[in-house]
Structure 1
Amino acid sequence: MCQLLGLNSSVPAGLGPFFDVFAERGGRTDEHKDGWGIAFHSGKRCRLYTDHRAAIDSPLAARVRRGALRARNILAHIRKATQGRIAIENVHPFARQLWGRTWCFAHNGDLKEFAPAPGRFVPQGDTDSEAAFCLLLSRLAARFPDGEPAPDVLRDALADVAAGIAAHGTFNFILSNGETLFAHCSTHLHYRLDEGRAMIATQPVDSRDGWVPFAAGELKAFGSGTLHP
């Protein structure tokens, strides 16, 4: 399956050497070689970079590793395809507009017998992951037609919809609206808080202490580098 890496920070920050370790898993130190992507997301501004090639073979990944791009929320993904072709339209993160914001999403897992009816948001590719993202946003849009609800109400609604999707299989994901980073665990997900930064990863990207495993079924929200109660 794929792997996830996320950052939520109180100030614009970069992944630095953490992205180096993560990108090496994209075909060199691990088997996730079916594409990669990263979103730099702060407020209403989102810069999205994706490539269907393995991260270790991607000139775009090399430029990102050399660069100094920063954001308050970063979502990175390396893909090992379980559903869908190896093609640019199937590379995470995916992005859509809702309530005047850009929402970015990346998924690790495999959803079986999952074919939701078309809603407000329609997939462009043929992965279960993008279908799940579109269903999440469609359900939120239908539940809150007058606009984005309060953060705690939104988190509870996301947890409710995510639980229904997770009934079809493994549904680990990270999701950002530019302010808050939401993370849901079915099987493997970890987080660490460190001086105004929250890191989220499928597997820890360094050997330092402080990585905390999610419990199965947990959805957590991070804002300004802290864990929301």
Structure 2
Amino acid sequence: MCQLLGMNCNTPTDIVFSFEGFRRRGGLTDHHADGFGIAFFEGAGARVFLDVEPSAQSQVADFIRDYPLKSENVIAHIRKATQGGVSLANTHPFQREMWGRYWVFAHNGNLDGFAPPEGRHYRPVGCTDSERAFCFLLDTLRQRFDHEPPFVELYRLVSETVAWIRSHGTFNFILSNGKFMLAHCSTSLYYIVRQAPFTTAHLVDEDVSVDFADLTTSNDRVAVIATQPLTDNEVWTPFEANELKIFKYGAPLKTAPGIGKVAPVPPSGA
């Protein structure tokens, strides 16, 4: 299985500390060695970096470490190929435009026999189940709404569509349009919110610590989401199975009871 990393903040923040531990899971502390990618939102724009080399040895990953980009929403992915060969076209995160904004998506899991109908607006470039799921999700939203709808309506349709997709297998994912972040857990996903009073954190994958009190202000708040906890001296909160969480301004938002954990109902045309 692959590894996911997401960061959602209330102010532009670099992800160097978390990424340095995370990248080591790509061929060093874990066996996920089939490429990696990372996306940084900057306003309405997005910088996406992809590499087919293992992230632990990648020069692209070195660049990310040495050039600390700041963003309010970041998504990273380390790949262990299950469907589709090792290539840039099959490397996460994937990016598409919808309603005048970029949407970025990364998936951990495997969807057996997932063959949704061909989309009207979005089609895969590569040959992974992950990109098929992303395109199907966006196409379902775009067919229902010509413009970005009220958030409650958007979230409800995402929940219904995700429930059907996950009936085909494991569907852990992180999705963002730069304004908020959605994270869904099938089997394994954790998050932590760092805010004042900040403390020292120590990485699981490398003997490195950082005192966030030296790097932040009292107003900063950062949510980090990962397949497995990145630090060993902080309390990470596990997602429930089949839970869909929204993060905005560095914290999870409350949702209406039942939304995000609905039964699988095939969308129209599926």
> So what's the TM-score if we normalise by structure 1?
0.98
SS of the aligned residue for 1:39 comes to strand
The answer on whether the counterparts of 2:15 and 2:68 sit within 8 Å (CA) in structure 1 is: no
Structure 2 unaligned runs (5+)? 196-220, 255-270
* 1:167 match: secondary structure: helix
AA partner of residue 30 (structure 1): D
2:234 alignment partner in structure 1: 209
Paired residue type of 1:87: S
Asked if the contact 2:32–2:79 (Cα under 8 Å) also holds between the matched residues in 1, the reply is yes
Name the structure 2 match of 1:24: 24
The equivalent residue for 2:74 is 74
Distance (Å, rounded) in 2 between the aligned partners of 1:194 and 1:42: 21
Code of the aligned partner of 1:224: Y
Select which of 248, 252, 256 maps to 1:223. Answer: 248
**Equivalent pair of 2:8/2:72 in contact (CA under 8 Å):** yes
CA shift, 1:37, in A, is 0.2
Q: Please identify the structure whose Cα radius of gyration is greater.
A: 2
Deviations 1:157-177, CA, capped at 9 Å, x for gaps: 111111100000000000000
- Matched with 2:8 is 8
Query: 8 Å contact 2:32–2:80 — kept in the other structure?
Result: yes
Moved over 2 A (4+): none
77-86 or 148-157, larger mean C-alpha shift: 148-157
Q: Deviations over 1:17-69 (max 9, x none)?
A: 21011000000000010000000013311000000111122111111111111
> Counterpart of 1:38?
38
Q: Distance in 1 between matches of 2:18 and 2:227?
A: 13
SS at the partner of 1:56?
coil
* Equivalent residues, number: 228
How far apart, CA to CA, are the structure 2 residues paired with 1:157 and 1:13? 31
Distance 2:159 2:248 in 1: 17
Matched, 1:197 2:222: yes
Instruction: Give 2:143's aligned residue.
Output: 142
Identity %: 48
- 1:121 match: 122
Amino acid across the alignment from 2:252: L
Deviates more, 1:159-168 or 1:37-46: 37-46
Note if 1:179 corresponds to 2:176: no
Q: What aligned pairs does 1:80-119 form with structure 2 within 5 A after superposition?
A: 80-119=80-119
Q: Flag the 1:42–1:154 CA change in 2: closer, same or farther, 3 A.
A: farther
Q: Whole-Å Cα distance in 1 between the matches of residues 228 and 124 of structure 2?
A: 28
TM-score of the superposed pair, with normalisation by structure 2: 0.83
What SS does the aligned partner of 2:131 have?
helix
Partner Cα separation in structure 2 for residue 97 and residue 8 of structure 1: 20
The one-character-per-residue Cα deviations of 1:161-208 (angstroms, maximum 9, x if unpaired) are 111000000000000000100000000001111121111000011113
Q: Distance in 2 between the 1:112 and 1:131 partners? A: 12
In structure 1, runs of 5+ residues without a counterpart are none
Cα distance in 2 between the residues matched to 1:42 and 1:179: 10
